[in-house]
Amino acid sequence: MGRLHAGDFLSTGRMHRGIAVVASLGGTCLLGACSEPMPPIDYSGPTAEWPAFAGDKAGLHYSPLRQIRADNVQHLEVAWEHRSGDYSEGGDGEAATSFQAVPIVVDRTLYYCTPYQRVFALDPETGAERWSFDPELRARSSGGPYPLSCRGVSYWEAAEPIPGRPCQQRILHGTKDSELWALDARSGLPCEDFGEGGKIALREGIGAEAPAWEYYPTSPPLIMGDKAILGALVADQLRRDAPAGVVRAFDVHSGELLWAWDPVPPGWVPEEGAGYQAGTPNVWSFLSGDEERGLVFVPMGNAAPDSYGGDRNGLDYYSSSTVALDAETGEVVWRFQSVHHDIWDLDVPSQPTLVEHPELAGGRPAVVQSTKLGHIFVLDRETGQPLFPVEERAVPQGGVPGERLSPTQPFPTKPPPLHPTALSPEQAFGFTPIDRAYCRKLIARYRYEGMFTPPTLEGSIQVPHSGGGMNWGGVAIDPERGFLYVNQSHVANVTQLIPREEFDLLDPDAAVYPEELYPMAGTPYGVKRFTLLSNFGAPCNPPPWGSLSAVDLTSGELLWQVPLGTTRDEAPFPLWLIPAWRDLGSPTFGGGLLTASGLYFIGATTDRYFRAFESETGEEIWKQRIPFNANSVPLSYRLRADSKQFVVVAAGGNVLTHIGDSLLAFALPD
């Protein structure tokens, strides 16, 4: 059993009242003195908790709270900070960490997980610890390409709680040890009736010979009734017979397996005695649920391996798709594929978002799916049919020998593609003529004929980068106005396939970022990937390198698009002081929060700022320097009629920025 740390009220929550330095575009607040007086705090508005990753099972990332507004946001200060101590820059055999958690707030308690997969329960208004639980993670080694991370936990409560009985409210939590834990939400103790000692193993039928870092859940399960439904990360580019991408539903009470959906194509005949089918597309991101219709919406990853599909034999039927499953049985209701025969690692990265608006397709219930390509597909929630026209367009051909390319790919017409795809040597970026000339030669060296240029032996440019475009932070949607907000990265990479006999002479462990080498064992090729950077370390494609966009879903029109982030903390001093070299946007990791008061909060950038934007115009109206990059998604809550609204974000950076462990809560000062 894991260790329990309960009743430890020597909290690591840290209170900051009246002493915060708050930098804003309109002025500075120092020791409580601001350039403009703060309006009285409005306590008349609604209250709300945050019971799921995106606030609800629909994935909206929207809060109905209005206490923090455009006219007082510049007065925000750090109300409390919690430091778990669970972070590492790697080395000595231990993996580096990336603090990506999105806490939940329910029953006046905040719950979050750390990269070491410990779970903390805090007082949401002070940050004081109520309990913590340690699963005693075994898989902390640095094997594999991924940092240690945990994106969140899930909450379940009994429909008719039995007084005095433990585990009537449960926290469900997956770990890198490929285990799913159930904890008593009140005490943090494992629920002894769940599996064995409060946990179940997730590797049955998966392929237990795979190392720990090749298969494990990184996103919290979706709770539908008394079911916990989840998939798992499967490591990219390693082998053709990668662990199965099965999605499973478990009984929240007992841990019993209720159903399993093995994403094989219709009519597939499995080998006799085999477990789940190896090499199928997995589900590493967040699921969403429609309880009224009994549907689960699943964002699918790639069939294995990612950059060569000549030997998949149809196993990519569900690859890079949004799939609707029956919540009771796990049977497929519909699927929509956003990339055919994906060989670009363009898996569906974000939670399908559920919205219903009277001016959107006559009020039809919709699913909105963002993709790494900067595409947004708006689908009928019951049938999967596009609510705006989607065109199949011819795309570049001529891949490597043995590959089987799709002749066309789907393009949404509304909303229009939000990511630029033009890239030529003449468009090469550079801070100076020296690095611009370097990038110009680099772009000319590799093949590029548009976003679906296939990987080649000579090397092909991919725009957007395999990390997006859009990624796991997802979209935020205003359900009243039907407006959508999303951040993107704008960076190119190069993918080059290497014949097996040549690749086997290389040492993949010798690759140093931005170069990556992956074996794709069982195929005729290995793969080399690297980001298209200048000799000064800046992206070769033109800026902005990060953006924030707003879309009117009812009309399908782009409302505005602005750069997001700066080169501070990446470009050397004093280059980032020069506006022309500073305000270029930055790659983004994470997502944003929308509030009913018309504010959009986001960290996500490579500079260490937390920002607020005016949702109507895209104007940045507040930012604050924070100790580490906030590569996560914010949340907001207000617990009582006489209490404040809090905005909370995990700031712990990643292996490319600055690594830490700060959970920050912002509120208006007393």
Residue entry with tokens 């020791």? 31
DSSP state of 605: S
Report DSSP letters for 458-507, one per residue: S-EEESSBTTBSS-TT--EEETTTTEEEEEEE---EEEEEEEHHHHTTS-
The partner residues of 368 in beta bridges, in order of sequence, read 353, 378
Q: Where are the beta strands (DSSP E) in 396-471?
A: 408-412, 460-462
Q: Is 657 helix (H, G, I), strand (E, B) or coil?
A: coil
β-strand 199-201 against 215-216: which pairing, if any?
unpaired
Residue 220 contacts residue 100 (beta carbons within 8 Å): no
Residue entry with tokens 């998939």? 231
CA triple 49-52-58, angle to 5 deg: 110
Q: What distance in Å separates the CA atoms of residue 643 and residue 650, rounded to the nearest whole number?
A: 22
Report DSSP letters for 134-146, one per residue: E---S--B--SS-
The partner residues of 335 in beta bridges, in order of sequence, read 323
Residue entry with tokens 């240690």? 148
Q: Which of 177, 290, 345, 347 is catalytic?
A: 345
Return the closest-CA partner of residue 495 out of 308, 358, 235: 308
Q: What distance in Å separates the CA atoms of residue 283 and residue 244, rounded to the nearest whole number?
A: 10
The amino acid sitting at 545 is W
**Is 241 in the active site?**
no
Q: What distance in Å separates the CA atoms of residue 500 and residue 523, rounded to the nearest whole number?
A: 8
How many other C-beta atoms are found inside a 10 Å radius of the C-beta of residue 331?
Answer: 11
Q: Is 435 helix (H, G, I), strand (E, B) or coil?
A: helix
Phi-psi region of 58 (alpha: psi -120 to 50; beta: other; left: phi over 0): alpha
What residues are annotated to the active site?
Answer: 345
